């Protein structure tokens, strides 16, 4: 059932309140959103927003990932006017924006000051400099973890390159009988690709170029795959089947020195003594560089207004509230949602709660999005298949690159 909203401006843990103009009386909004922690965050926002907007009612749908995508596509393709606000994975953004399904937020007067640039870039189409079609809501970014205590014990410095990662993994793996040098997700598809992309980008490689043409068949890609494969001898046995839970367990039990991929939602448990044996020992940083600088993968979520939204002005008011620094701060402290506002990462209370926030901002500022193509999920699946074939020793790095490139080019029609 619709919820009557409280008021824009009520925030938790003593956050300052910025005045937000109330929406027009008798407005109602329908929000298509995610389940889980995103639904928790949306419920918090709805209750907070209601304090200065008592005449606005909101119906918020909490849908699973695939269900949200499907519902949003059907509604917008049919111009059903079903939603006023929709939550989007940034990998969907190119499709939704290029099809003309989303409102022009520049024309509606959206304020973009203070967002981290990488999160704002994926909110525009064409990417980076085009029309604003969304506001950044969740600043998810891929991070890198290393056990500082183990590094210090073996005289190792923080890894600044992927070559240094391999060398540190080899050193610790050889010296520690019960500790692996590195861990990563080896399961084919999204897991293995997610860990590999920052390595590829740091080598200067690309899966597709800016024009959307297959570009994986390169010396940089071969070098990146070779380096990725060189991690396996220092990883746990069976790493080709590892997914998120195995990576987290290895970090929390102290049985690995590094993880090439962690996410903000995974990190707090590392300092929780009820589940972690490495409290205070694990450092979180941006992924290392190589030929190019650090290139972590962006995993942002965006709030957008459908082009056929019944109440676009009221929807923009809600978007502005939801992404304002005060709400972003409160959602970080209350829910643990990664902010998209740079100021929150420097907030004293936020840094006290999340000691890795300065490094997380560094990662976010250097983050790269997945290719801005509408068929990324298909391309990711192809790449993941060949990466795992190489990981299990069925094909060489050169063969993986050449064969994956050919399949990707075929899928893209080039």
For residue range 352-385, list pLDDT tens digits in order.
999 999 999 999 999 999 999 999 999 999 999 9
Judgement on whether residues 80 and 24 belong to the same structural domain of the protein = yes
d(CA 184, CA 13): 36
pLDDT, residue 27, reads 83
Judgement on whether residues 125 and 205 belong to the same structural domain of the protein = no
Residue 414 binned pLDDT confidence (cut-offs 50, 70, 90):
low
pLDDT, residue 60, reads 97
Per the prediction, the chain carries an average pLDDT of 93
Mean pLDDT of 221-241: 98
Residue 1 pLDDT exceeds 60: no
Phi then psi for residue 20, to 5 deg, are -120, 130
Judgement on whether residues 33 and 152 belong to the same structural domain of the protein = no
Where on the phi/psi map is residue 366: left (φ > 0), alpha (ψ -120 to 50), or beta? alpha
Residue 3 binned pLDDT confidence (cut-offs 50, 70, 90):
very low
Residue 252 pLDDT exceeds 80: yes
Judgement on whether residues 118 and 34 belong to the same structural domain of the protein = yes
Judgement on whether residues 237 and 339 belong to the same structural domain of the protein = no
Percent of the chain scoring above 90 in pLDDT: 93
d(CA 386, CA 383): 5
Judgement on whether residues 244 and 196 belong to the same structural domain of the protein = yes
Residue 10 pLDDT exceeds 80: no
d(CA 53, CA 282): 44
pLDDT, residue 407, reads 98
β-pairing, 124-125 with 135-138? unpaired
Judgement on whether residues 237 and 312 belong to the same structural domain of the protein = no
The position carrying tokens 């926030």 is 357
What is the residue-wise DSSP string for 351-399? HHH-TTHHHHHHHHHT-BPSP--TTHHHHHHHHHHHHHHHHTTSS-HHH
Q: In what order do the strands lie in the sheet with 28-34?
A: 3-4, 57-63, 28-34, 85-89, 301-304, 135-138
Mean pLDDT of 124-152: 97
Judgement on whether residues 303 and 405 belong to the same structural domain of the protein = no
d(CA 125, CA 94): 7
Say which CATH number the domain at 385 has. Answer: 3.40.190.10
Question: Cα–Cα distances in Å, from 313 out to 73, 109, 208, 320?
Answer: 22, 10, 37, 11
Residue 410 pLDDT exceeds 80: yes
Residue 18 pLDDT exceeds 90: no
pTM over 0.95: no
Q: Is residue 370 part of a domain?
A: no
β-pairing, 85-89 with 28-34? parallel
Judgement on whether residues 293 and 304 belong to the same structural domain of the protein = no
Which residues, 6 or more positions from 404, have their beta carbon under 8 angstroms from its beta carbon? Answer: 216, 382, 383, 385, 386, 387
d(CA 236, CA 33): 37
Contact 307, 125 (CB under 8 A): no
Residue 14 pLDDT exceeds 80: no
pLDDT, residue 7, reads 32
For the chain, what is the domain count?
2
Residue 8 pLDDT exceeds 50: no
Domain coverage including residue 217: 143-297+375-412
pLDDT, residue 120, reads 98
Judgement on whether residues 115 and 216 belong to the same structural domain of the protein = no
């Amino acid at each position: 059932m619709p919820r009557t909203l409280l008021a824009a401006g009520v925030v938790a843990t003593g956050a300052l309140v910025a005045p937000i103009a109330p929406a027009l009386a008798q407005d109602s909004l329908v929000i298509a959103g995610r389940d889980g922690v995103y639904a928790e965050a949306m419920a918090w926002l709805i209750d907070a927003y209601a304090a200065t907007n008592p005449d606005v009612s909101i119906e918020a749908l909490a849908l699973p990932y695939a269900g949200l995508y499907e519902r949003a596509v059907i509604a917008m393709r049919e111009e059903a006017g079903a939603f006023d606000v929709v939550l989007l994975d940034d990998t969907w953004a190119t499709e939704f924006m290029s099809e003309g399904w989303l409102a022009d937020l520049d024309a509606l007067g959206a304020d973009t000051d203070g967002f981290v640039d990488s999160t704002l870039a994926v909110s525009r189409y064409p990417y980076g400099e085009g029309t604003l079609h969304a506001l950044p809501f969740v600043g998810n970014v891929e991070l890198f973890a290393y056990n500082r205590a183990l590094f210090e014990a073996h005289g190792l410095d923080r890894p600044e390159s992927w070559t240094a990662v391999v060398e540190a993994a080899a050193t610790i793996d050889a010296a520690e009988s019960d500790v692996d040098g590195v861990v990563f997700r080896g399961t084919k598809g999204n897991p293995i690709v997610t860990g590999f992309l920052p390595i590829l980008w740091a080598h200067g490689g690309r899966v597709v170029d800016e024009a959307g043409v297959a570009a994986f068949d390169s010396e940089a890609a071969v070098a990146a795959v070779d380096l990725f494969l060189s991690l396996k001898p220092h990883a746990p046995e069976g790493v080709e089947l590892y997914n998120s839970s195995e990576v987290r367990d290895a970090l929390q039990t102290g049985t690995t020195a590094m993880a090439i991929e962690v996410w903000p939602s995974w990190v707090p448990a590392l300092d929780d003594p009820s589940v972690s044996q490495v409290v205070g020992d694990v450092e979180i940083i941006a992924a290392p560089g190589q030929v190019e600088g650090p290139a972590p993968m962006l995993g942002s979520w965006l709030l957008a207004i459908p082009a056929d939204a019944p109440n676009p002005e009221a929807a923009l008011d809600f978007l502005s509230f939801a992404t304002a620094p005060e709400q972003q701060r409160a959602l970080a402290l209350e829910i643990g949602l990664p902010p998209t506002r740079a100021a929150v990462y420097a907030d004293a209370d936020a840094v006290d709660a999340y000691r890795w926030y300065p490094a997380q901002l560094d990662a976010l500022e250097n983050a790269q999005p997945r290719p801005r193509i509408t068929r990324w999920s298909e391309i990711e699946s192809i790449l993941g298949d060949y990466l795992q074939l190489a990981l299990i020793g069925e094909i060489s790095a050169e063969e993986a690159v050449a064969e994956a490139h050919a399949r990707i080019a075929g899928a893209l029609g080039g």
